[in-house]
């Protein structure tokens, strides 16, 4: 660890979040908006945000839920289906409603049932996106039940990612929440049109942690955490400063009762301490000098946006992640690393 006592960087952005809707949106949003200037908002609501009108309305609900005095810009995404309307996506992109479109292979994760059943079904849409420069954000896991859950990302690279990039040579693609050394290596073979987000939980836990002393549902997410060698590869990539890799928490709140269940939901709610946890990882890797590139510069550069103008400061100071966050409907959400003492604090 470095002996730096404080760290000031451009205000970061979160390039992958789940904000939900209604009472959960109101509970979750302040944590993200406190830290990040902008965030890419995932469209997997029920029903999913497939069209530009629905996205504009969702964006209004997000602004309405934003606490006074916080400046935050939600960047909206379209949920791709077998029947996505390329013209509506293009219009939404042109008018600044959509920043990108998200590919969920049908059945891959939470609220992905309306996702794409075969990439060939959206070739027309991808052609349009390539033409207009609209990024494709990919949940990179195959859904074939014969493929072991720990291999789904690796297999996706060869079955879907590689052929799609070859077919659409100008398409901008973000390989979301990468979890394997294979994905790190693959992204590095690509040019600047391919980026990857890395979550803080995949930098901090491996698959054994999910079962340490008993089953720990709050460490379960998709893609599921992999072996230690993969966690180490992700840490090396994130802290390398390379332009491909940028911050995306994939913070995904579910109520405690939905997580602590016979069939618990996938998703880790990291928003309450996200930036501080990433800072801790960079500190442990003696790479605080690369933190701003990962958190605040590489993402905007990929999306063709300016970095945020303001700065944020983190101080070396102990604090404890809250045990629980209360939602107005009476439910509760447990944050990632709840009850743990962290060594960096956002001022
Ligand atoms: O763990 C996850 N939770 N992975 C996803 O892809 C979706 C997310 C959610 O929406 O809960
Ligand atoms: Zn996600």
Tell me, in angstroms, the distance from the centre of ligand 1 to residue 191's CA. 28
Annotated catalytic residue 209: no
Tell me, in angstroms, the distance from the centre of ligand 1 to residue 276's CA. 21
Give the long-range contacts of residues 295-300, CB within 8 A, separation 24 or more: 295/9, 295/12, 295/13, 295/246, 295/247, 296/9, 296/10, 296/11, 296/12, 296/13, 297/10, 298/195, 298/242, 298/243, 298/244, 298/245, 298/246, 299/13, 299/15, 299/195, 299/246, 299/247, 299/248, 300/13
Percentages of the chain per state (helix, strand, coil), in multiples of 5: 40, 20, 40
Sketch the domain layout of the chain as residue ranges.
12-307
* pLDDT score recorded for residue 141: 98
* pLDDT score recorded for residue 110: 83
146, 250, 258, 283: the active-site residue: 250
* Nearest ligand to residue 42 Cα: 2
Q: Output the CA–CA distances (angstroms, integers) from residue 50 to 76, 100, 132, 167, 225, in the order listed.
A: 11, 12, 18, 24, 29
Which residue stretches of the chain have pLDDT < 50? none
* pLDDT score recorded for residue 147: 97
Question: Whose C-alpha lies nearest to ligand 1, atom 4?
Answer: 222
Structure tokens at 307: 């970095």
Structure tokens at 7: 């760290």
* pLDDT score recorded for residue 2: 58
* pLDDT score recorded for residue 299: 98
111 Cα nearest atom in ligand 1: 10
Mutate to test the pocket of ligand 1, among 219, 250, 269 (most ligand atoms within 8 A of CB): 250
Question: Whose C-alpha lies nearest to ligand 1, atom 10?
Answer: 110
Mutate to test the pocket of ligand 1, among 16, 110, 113, 248 (most ligand atoms within 8 A of CB): 110
Question: Whose C-alpha lies nearest to ligand 1, atom 3?
Answer: 267
Ligand 1 environment, Cβ below 6 A: 18, 44, 109-110, 139, 221-222, 252, 266-267
Tens digits of residue pLDDT in 258-314: 999 999 999 999 999 999 999 999 999 999 999 999 999 999 999 999 999 999 999
Place of tokens 């398409």: 171
CATH number for the domain running over 12-307: 3.20.20.140
């Amino acid at each position: 660890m470095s002996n730096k006592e404080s760290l000031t960087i451009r205000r970061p952005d979160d390039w992958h979040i789940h904000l939900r809707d209604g009472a959960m949106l109101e509970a979750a949003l302040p944590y993200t908006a406190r830290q990040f200037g902008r965030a890419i908002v995932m469209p997997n609501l029920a029903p999913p945000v497939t069209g530009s009108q629905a996205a504009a309305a969702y964006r209004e609900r997000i602004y309405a839920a934003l606490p006074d005095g916080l400046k935050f810009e939600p960047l909206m995404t379209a949920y791709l289906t077998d029947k996505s309307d390329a013209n509506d996506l293009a219009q939404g992109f042109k008018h600044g409603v959509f920043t990108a479109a998200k590919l969920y292979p049908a059945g891959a994760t939470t609220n992905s049932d309306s996702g794409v059943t075969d990439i060939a079904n959206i070739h027309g849409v991808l052609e349009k996106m390539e033409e207009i420069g609209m990024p494709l954000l990919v949940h990179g896991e195959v859904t074939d039940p014969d493929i072991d859950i720990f291999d789904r990302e690796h297999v996706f690279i060869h079955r879907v990612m590689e052929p799609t990039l070859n077919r659409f040579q100008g398409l901008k693609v973000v390989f979301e929440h990468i979890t394997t050394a294979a994905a790190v290596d693959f992204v590095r073979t690509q040019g600047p049109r391919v980026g990857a987000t890395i979550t803080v939980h995949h930098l901090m836990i491996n698959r054994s942690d999910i079962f340490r002393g008993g089953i720990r549902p709050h460490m379960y997410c998709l893609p599921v955490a992999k072996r230690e060698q993969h966690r180490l590869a992700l840490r090396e990539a994130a802290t390398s400063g390379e332009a491909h890799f940028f911050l995306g928490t994939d913070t995904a709140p579910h109520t405690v009762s939905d997580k602590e269940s016979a069939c618990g939901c996938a998703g880790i709610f990291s928003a309450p301490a996200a930036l501080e946890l990433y800072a801790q990882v960079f500190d442990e890797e003696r790479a605080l000098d690369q933190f701003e590139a990962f958190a605040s510069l590489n993402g905007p550069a990929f999306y063709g946006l300016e970095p945020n103008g303001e700065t944020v400061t983190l101080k070396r100071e102990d604090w404890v992640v809250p045990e629980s966050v209360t939602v107005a409907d009476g439910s509760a959400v447990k944050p990632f690393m709840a009850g743990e003492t962290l060594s960096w604090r956002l001022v």
